[in-house]
Chain A
Amino acid sequence: MEQEKVVDKVAEHIEETRRREVILSSLRQTVLNDLDSTIQTDQFLLNMGPQHPSTHGVLRVLLDLDGERIKRSIPDLGYLHRGTEKIAEYRTYNQIIPMTDRLDYVSAMANNYAFVRAVEKLLEIKIPERAEYIRTIVAEVQRIVNHLFWLGTQALDIGAMSVFFYTFREREELLDLFEIICGARLTSNYYRVGGVDADLPKEFINRLYKFLDAFEGNIKEYNILLETNRIWLARTKNIAVITGEDAVNFGMSGPSLRGSGVDYDLRKYEPYGVYDQIDWNVPVGINGDVYDRYWIRIEEMRESSKIIRQCLDKLPPGRILTEDHKITFPDKGKVMHNMETLIHHFLLVVQGFKVPPGDTYCGTETPKGELGFYIVSDGSGKPYRMKIRAPSFIHIGALDHMAKGYMVADIVTIFGTLDIVMGECDR
């Protein structure tokens, strides 16, 4: 009796698989008919990822190939989905900050900044000047860290392996600096609503100055290895071209958009932090190919170091957190002696700070593009709804458009040039 049941089940399963096969093959036929191929060849479907050395995490792409040429590329997302947006509805605002670290895990500080800015916009509070300077410095250091990481992996994907080690050498120094200010190298959790967590110690500032002094020479070193290399140029020029119009239509942002000649940088257009008090430029490309985006990121590193140096020179004294203790924690020393501060402390821990009802969208220029937080507040200490506009997710929408007609080898270059991080993409 038992055995019969098992046999039945197996038969059912086989039947089911067959039915699926039929559906699949008919689907495949319709796909084939869609593609206007003059020579009738077999379709070559290549499954790339989610476990693949260069899909930047757990991206999966189905490649429809004609020989080595890409006819279609279908990204399949969700392998790193952790439900960040939903979990956020059950956390106080301060508890969400460490969750944003895990979005774009290559540049955690930038995510902190983007989230904190959105909440501050809802709260309509003012940040002490010193805190604004520190935020700008750290955000730009994070931009350099991200671009170094990007440069190393992009070069490694194209086959130039030494650049990877050189950029990681520099990145290591900057991560050590992060460790000084927040105790962590990657998951920083440094920004706070109303300021930042800790002041910059003397050692941080000195080492950052030293780093900046050597950095210009280091960028030159990468350029000697790449920009003057004919193979590098052949692999990046006129690859994955996207026009400015298309890039805008796909909703791209950041270096990926600026590479196509669209002069759009939130730091210039809706200045936040102290970007409007600093002298710096937005590098813009012309052709919208991989090389232009490479050039822009290199230039952005130069601009970032310019911004950091000016900020460090100007760094004013003062507080690093607002004094509004409805939002920020009061000094620990006072908590045990002053009734009011004790209540503030207690309420902040138990309920979190209250955000007035309403909704807002706030976009921030992270290294990857415009990272936006849309937050709906019902007046409680937790967001009613939080939506993250992740640049990686939106850029992946343009993958098929950019990859069509190029070779298998180029798909890896395109992953790199879009600067995709799956933590942010799948959220």
Chain B
Amino acid sequence: MLNDILAAVVVIAGVLFVVLTMVAYLTYLERKVLSFMQDRLGPMEVGPWGLLQPLADGIKLVSKEDIIPQEANKAIFKIAPIISLVPAILSFAVIPFGRDSFHFGGITTHPYLTDINIGMIYILALSSIGAYGILLGGWASNSKYSILGALRSAAQVISYELNAGMSIIGVLILGGSLSLVQIEKAQQGGFWHWYIFPQIIAFVIYLISGIAETNRTPFDLPEAESELVAGFFTEYSGMRFSLYYLAEYANMIVVSCVATVLFLGGWGSPLPMLDFVPPVIWFMLKVYSFLFFFFWIRATLPRLRYDQLMKFGWKVMLPLSFANVIVTAFVVYMIRH
């Protein structure tokens, strides 16, 4: 019993540590990748090649004054960034990032925190809660730019959540389970087993919805710098501001992890002869290629307009994802009978 609790604590601490470090260094990575695409160097001053930049940013943000607007709804204003960040981090509980169990001095742990049989629904639910953080934060700021950003965000998250949910259903039909661990296991044995091939439409839809849900270019309307100053977090400063920031990057990692698990076979190696590479490495490689893709998109594409975004979400993506579900269900039924 004690051993079990200890094991859980060790894994939770480990995952939290890894996730938070990843989130912090993701900001560094993004700045570097963008810089190299834009013919400049990016952070270079703090530490070798600017490697300590996230640390310096963290210290700066923590030591800044926490300004709360006079007319703001103080309680909600304070709690909103937390509502945004916590679900993003909680999502990591169900993501299996490796195959083998770990052993620490007599304690055996799984490469995931928990394997609940509704893992996928759990993640969808949490990402919906995260939207509340944005909506409430924008509303509680009592600023016009914030409220516009929050409204956009609410509309955007609702419409794209739907698409993401619908696109996942195809994978769930193929995998026959809502548990991420089971879905991953069903795709092992080489890249031809991955669901990206039978579910290519769902993959594209999920990726686009994922970018939209994490409020990244070209769907970064809630924080559209050129129009809304900073959107829903215009009035935030210091640590609360950075919580929103961390939430955005944590969400990016979640989306990448889920895409990896659902479509790219999670920790599985693409060819059986490459099995000697540890599964964790494969998992991270796939996640980071998604993250790189997000950065790349940000460097290249302009921003969509609000109405175009809605039109695209409801008139193009939703019918496509519905069609995908119907076709997948039909084909799977035909094959099994």
Contact = CB atoms under 8 A, between A and B. Distances in A.
7 contacts: A44-B144, A54-B227, A158-B226, A161-B34, A165-B40, A231-B303, A234-B305
Contacts of A217: none
Given A161-B38, A162-B38, A169-B39, A407 B302 contact: no
B300 interface: yes
A68 B302 contact: no
A52 B144 CA distance: 13
Given A46-B148, A53-B229, 18 more contacts: A53-B225, A54-B226, A68-B306, A159-B217, A159-B303, A162-B299, A165-B38, A166-B39, A226-B302, A231-B303, A234-B305, A234-B308, A408-B306, A409-B221, A409-B224, A409-B227, A409-B303, A409-B305
A196 B220 CA distance: 48
A221 to B, nearest CB: 11
Nearest to B299: A162
Contacts of A53: 225-226, 229
B313 interface: no
B218 interface: yes
Contacts of A411: 227
B193 interface: no
A160 B217 CA distance: 9
A24 interface: no
B277 interface: no
Interface in B149-191: none
A8 B26 CA distance: 59
Contacts of B299: 161-162
Given A235-B305, A409-B305, A410-B305, A159 B226 contact: yes
Nearest to B298: A161
Interface of A: 44, 46-47, 52-54, 68, 155-162, 165-166, 169, 225-226, 229, 231-232, 234-235, 407-412
Contacts of B300: 160, 162, 225
A165 B226 contact: no
B306 A159 contact: no
A249 to B, nearest CB: 28
Interface string B186-205: 00000000000000000000
A363 to B, nearest CB: 32
Given A54-B226, A157-B226, A229 B39 contact: no
A303 B305 CA distance: 32
A409 B220 contact: no
Interface string B108-152: 000000000000000000000000000000000000110010000
B148 to A, nearest CB: 7
Contacts of A166: 38-39
A231 B38 contact: no
Nearest to B225: A53
Interface in B38-94: 38-40
A373 B118 CA distance: 74
A234 B304 CA distance: 8
B9 interface: no
B271 interface: no
Contacts of A169: 39
A44 B143 CA distance: 12
Contacts of B221: 409
What 6 A-B pairs are tightest by C-beta distance, nearest first? A159-B303, A165-B38, A160-B302, A54-B226, A159-B302, A158-B302
A232 to B, nearest CB: 5
B331 interface: no
Interface residues of B, number: 29
Interface in B230-289: none
B144 A46 contact: yes
A412 B221 CA distance: 13
B148 A232 contact: no
A162 B145 CA distance: 25
A155 to B, nearest CB: 7
B22 to A, nearest CB: 24
Contacts of A158: 226, 302-303
Contacts of B40: 165
Contact of B37 (A46, A162, A226): A162
A72 B163 CA distance: 35
A409 B306 contact: yes
Given A46-B144, A68-B306, A158-B303, A408 B227 contact: yes
B32 to A, nearest CB: 14
B301 interface: yes
Nearest to A166: B39
A407 to B, nearest CB: 6
Nearest to A416: B226
A427 to B, nearest CB: 26
B97 to A, nearest CB: 32
Contacts of B305: 234-235, 407, 409-410
A104 to B, nearest CB: 22
A165 B299 CA distance: 11
B31 to A, nearest CB: 12
Given A161-B299, A231-B301, A156 B38 contact: no
Contacts of A155: 302
B224 A159 contact: yes
A186 B217 CA distance: 33
Contact of B306 (A47, A157, A165, A407): A407
A59 to B, nearest CB: 13
A177 B220 CA distance: 38
Given A166-B38, A407-B307, A160 B301 contact: yes
Nearest to A160: B302
Contacts of A410: 305
Residue of B34, B303, B304 with highest tally of chain A CB at under 10 A: B303
Residue of B40, B300, B305 with highest tally of chain A CB at under 10 A: B305
Contacts of A46: 144-145, 148
Contacts of A409: 221, 224, 227, 303, 305-306
B155 to A, nearest CB: 10
Contacts of B302: 155, 158-160, 226, 229, 231-232, 235
